[in-house]
């Protein structure tokens, strides 16, 4: 997905947030933000959103010297989600439609804003998603495609959210469906890495690999050959979150199910649902 004018203030907001978490040195903070602004001023905006976003956060990491500005936040997210995890499995087990409930739980993980300085009532937020209707609900197509494929490439989004993903992966495993879970190859934003997947116990229910790079979303030009082979050979992809949607909404000849809460008006318009709604949308774009 190409950036819109509205994306630029969002890049600056993210950069400012990361800078504040990276260092207390006001001089370094100003230097980092000025370099980000200079990059956005002179860089070609025709590049895809993940490439611009990745470069913005690499500037922050380089200038501040902090390779993982979101580490503390990610640890807090993992701790909060782990405490709630035990309540999720019985919810699925007692459901009339366990796979839909598990998918909703995975989407709820994306719907919860684990942002800094925000108090979260996880139980309330999960219940809200479970009791509400998905704006786009392609669960029947997911059931049919998953049963035919028997193998799924599952693209993770954020730390903490990984615990919610484990619920859906576990439900797929009960149907003898194998899942390969993909995390980032390095720290970027609060995206899940191998460490976060391990903390959530994903290794016990799926094969875990990384993209091989610290890019936001899926930046194919930077991903490892291993990941590219896995993606090419996969017949079915589950994609979590907006960053992955921005990367994959133009991919051709690949069946993808996008699971996310829409937090951006540009994504809302592109995906065909209102901002703040939750969706499980099948996507297959032919040549």
Are 17 and 92 members of one domain?
A: no
Treating both helix axes as pointing N-terminal to C-terminal, what angle do 122-131 and 98-111 enclose, rounded to 10 degrees?
Answer: 130
Kindly state whether residue 2 falls inside one of the protein's structural domains. no
Of residues 184, 187, 179, 234, the one with CA closest to residue 204: 179
Are 98 and 144 members of one domain?
A: yes
Listed residues 30, 45, 64: the one ending a domain = 64
Is the separation of the CB atoms in 165 and 183 below 8 Å? no
How confident is the model at residue 119, as a pLDDT?
A: 53
Are 58 and 77 members of one domain?
A: no
Listed residues 46, 64, 82: the one ending a domain = 64
Are 148 and 25 members of one domain?
A: no
Are 228 and 107 members of one domain?
A: yes
Is the separation of the CB atoms in 22 and 15 below 8 Å? no
Kindly state whether residue 171 falls inside one of the protein's structural domains. yes
Query: pTM (2 decimals)?
Result: 0.95
Kindly state whether residue 43 falls inside one of the protein's structural domains. yes
Long-range contacts of 254-257 (CB under 8 A, 24+ apart): 254/284, 254/285, 255/145, 255/282, 255/283, 255/284, 256/282, 256/283, 256/284, 257/138, 257/141, 257/142, 257/145, 257/281, 257/282, 257/283
What's the structural domain count of the chain?
A: 2
DSSP result, 193-230: BHHHHHHTTGGGTSEEEE-SS--SS--TTTS-HHHHHH
Burial class (CB in 10 A: 0-12, 13-18, 19+), 247: buried
Are 17 and 96 members of one domain?
A: no
Are 36 and 83 members of one domain?
A: no
Q: How many Å apart are CA 231 and CA 251, to the nearest integer? A: 11
Kindly state whether residue 103 falls inside one of the protein's structural domains. yes
Only one residue has tokens 């990059």, namely: 39
Q: Which domain holds residue 27?
A: 7-64
How confident is the model at residue 129, as a pLDDT?
A: 93
How confident is the model at residue 132, as a pLDDT?
A: 94
Are 55 and 76 members of one domain?
A: no
Are 24 and 155 members of one domain?
A: no
Kindly state whether residue 1 falls inside one of the protein's structural domains. no
Domain of residue 216, CATH code = 3.40.50.10880
How confident is the model at residue 236, as a pLDDT?
A: 97
What does the chain come to in residues? 287
Kindly state whether residue 219 falls inside one of the protein's structural domains. yes
- Give, rounded to a whole angstrom, the gap between the first and last alpha carbons of the chain: 17
Q: How many Å apart are CA 107 and CA 259, to the nearest integer? A: 6
Kindly state whether residue 89 falls inside one of the protein's structural domains. yes
Listed residues 18, 40, 64: the one ending a domain = 64
DSSP 97: S
Cα four-point dihedral sign 3, 57, 15, 40 = negative
Q: What 3-state DSSP class applies to 255?
A: strand
Are 25 and 78 members of one domain?
A: no
Are 165 and 250 members of one domain?
A: yes
How confident is the model at residue 123, as a pLDDT?
A: 82
- pLDDT (tens digit, 0 to 9) for every residue of the chain, 287 residues total? 999 999 999 999 999 999 999 999 999 999 999 999 999 999 988 899 999 999 999 999 999 999 999 999 999 889 989 999 999 999 999 999 999 999 999 999 998 765 444 456 778 888 999 999 999 999 999 999 999 999 999 999 999 999 999 999 999 999 999 999 999 999 999 999 999 999 999 999 999 999 999 999 999 999 999 999 999 999 999 999 999 999 999 999 999 999 999 999 999 999 999 999 999 999 998 86
How confident is the model at residue 125, as a pLDDT?
A: 83
Are 33 and 85 members of one domain?
A: no
How confident is the model at residue 286, as a pLDDT?
A: 85
Domain of residue 57, CATH code = 1.10.8
**Which element (helix H / strand E) includes 50?**
helix 49-64
């Amino acid at each position: 997905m190409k950036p819109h004018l509205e994306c630029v203030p969002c890049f600056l907001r993210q950069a400012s947030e990361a800078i504040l978490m990276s260092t207390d040195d006001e001089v370094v903070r100003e230097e980092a933000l000025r370099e980000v602004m200079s990059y956005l001023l002179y860089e070609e905006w025709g590049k895809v959103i993940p490439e611009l976003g990745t470069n913005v956060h690499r500037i922050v990491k380089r200038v501040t010297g902090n390779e993982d500005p979101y580490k503390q936040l990610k640890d807090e997210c993992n701790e909060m989600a782990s405490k709630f995890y035990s309540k999720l499995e019985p919810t699925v087990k007692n459901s009339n439609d366990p796979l839909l409930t598990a998918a909703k739980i995975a989407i709820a993980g994306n719907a919860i804003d684990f942002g800094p300085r925000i108090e979260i009532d996880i139980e309330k937020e999960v219940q809200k998603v479970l009791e509400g209707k998905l704006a786009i609900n392609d669960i029947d197509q997911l059931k049919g495609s998953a049963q035919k494929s028997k193998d799924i490439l599952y693209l993770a989004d954020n730390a903490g959210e990984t615990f919610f993903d484990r619920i859906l992966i576990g439900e797929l495993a009960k149907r003898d469906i194998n899942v390969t879970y993909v995390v980032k190859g390095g720290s970027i934003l609060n995206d899940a890495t191998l460490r976060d997947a391990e903390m959530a116990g994903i290794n016990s229910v799926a094969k875990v690999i990384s993209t091989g790079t610290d890019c936001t979303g899926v930046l194919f030009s930077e991903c490892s050959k291993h990941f590219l082979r896995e993606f090419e050979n996969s017949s079915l992809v589950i994609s979590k979150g907006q960053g992955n949607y921005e990367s994959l909404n133009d991919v051709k000849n690949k069946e993808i199910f996008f699971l996310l809460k829409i937090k951006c008006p540009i994504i809302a318009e592109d995906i065909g649902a209102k901002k703040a709604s939750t969706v499980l949308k099948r996507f297959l774009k032919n040549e």
